[in-house]
Amino acid sequence: MTGIEVRNLTKRYGPITAVDTLSFTVRPGAVTAFLGPNGAGKTTTLRMMIDHVAPTSGSVTICGRRYRDLPRPTTVVGAVFDASAFHPHHSARDHLRIYAAMGGFPDGRVQELLTLLGLADAAERRTGGFSTGMRQRLNLATALLGDPRVLLLDEPSNGLDPEGTAWLRSFLRDLADDGRTILISSHVLSEVQQIADDVVVIRQGRLLTAGPLHELTGTAQAVLVRSPDSAELSRILMRHAQAVRADGPDELRVRGLDAARIADLAAGQGLRIHGLTSEHPSLEQIFLDLAGERTNG
């Protein structure tokens, strides 16, 4: 087992509950996006996974064990949380050599990762002069020194230019296809939608939804219906659809029925339809609806 199991995880800071009985699973061979508004508890949850923060109650197991019980945790879990955790006077090569020595990893792994992460030409430069994007690459190289099967990444695309973001997307996809477990927290939802297999969405420390991205986007699909008989049609559709909402004069937005089924129901009652448009909401739209940050018109 190389997945992550979060069970009833809770973290309180005095009267403030940062994470509230949170439970979800991160499966191997997939990229799982961990989403939520600022202050939702994402970073606290990630840090509890590797014992940087002690939970008030609940548990996290990685590969079936708590992080502290893993014999060599850096060979199992790699984490990227802070893009500025470098000595400014160390070169990229020196930084990786220090961490390789601390973890007992061969020195050859350093050059391998400098090349793999596109840092070979900057290997002798001091990290104090690195851009945010280069720091992100070096942080990822550090996390990969032990060739871990699990990666925890907090905003890994911060500071990357479009080329770097595309590279990161391809790189993480290859790691997941190799059977690794990847959990990424990100606010760049357009990028997440292009790479994520699964999503976990939280708000105020509580789980809103978790599961495959295609299921989430599928259930969120809607059909915009234009009909001069919208009032009567709404009553008919409400018996069969998940949701029917008036969306303007003679317009309905319907969830839970496809366009063909709506047309058949209307025809069966002799009701007129002047237009059917299937909508495929973006992950950002779904996220805003789930997180309660958008009101319906």
222-226 and 251-255 strand pairing: antiparallel
Which residues have a Cβ under 8 Å from the Cβ of 86 and sit 6 or more positions away? 95, 127, 128, 130, 135, 138
Check whether residue 121 and residue 244 sit in a common domain: no
The reported pTM is 0.80
Check whether residue 112 and residue 244 sit in a common domain: no
Three-class secondary structure of residue 258 per DSSP = coil
Over range 177-182, report the average pLDDT.
96
List the domain range (segments joined by +) for residue 124: 4-211
DSSP codes, 202-216? EETTEEEEEEEHHHH
pLDDT category of residue 38 using cuts at 50, 70 and 90:
confident
Q: Which amino acid appears at position 47 of this protein?
A: R
pLDDT at 194 over 90: no
> What is the overall mean pLDDT for the chain?
90
User: Where is pLDDT greater, at 108 or 295?
Assistant: 108
Check whether residue 48 and residue 144 sit in a common domain: yes
Three-class secondary structure of residue 241 per DSSP = coil
- Give the lowest-confidence range in 48-52, 183-187, 190-194: 190-194
- Does residue 254 come out as left (phi exceeding 0), alpha (psi in the -120 to 50 range) or beta? beta
Q: Which of 66, 63, 56, 65 is nearest to 21 (CA)?
A: 56
- At 28, which CATH number? 3.40.50.300
Check whether residue 181 and residue 272 sit in a common domain: no
Number of compact structural domains in the chain: 2
Question: In Å, what is the CA distance from 240 to each residue of 233, 256, 267, 275, 285?
Answer: 11, 8, 15, 19, 24
For residue 127, being part of any structural domain is answered with yes
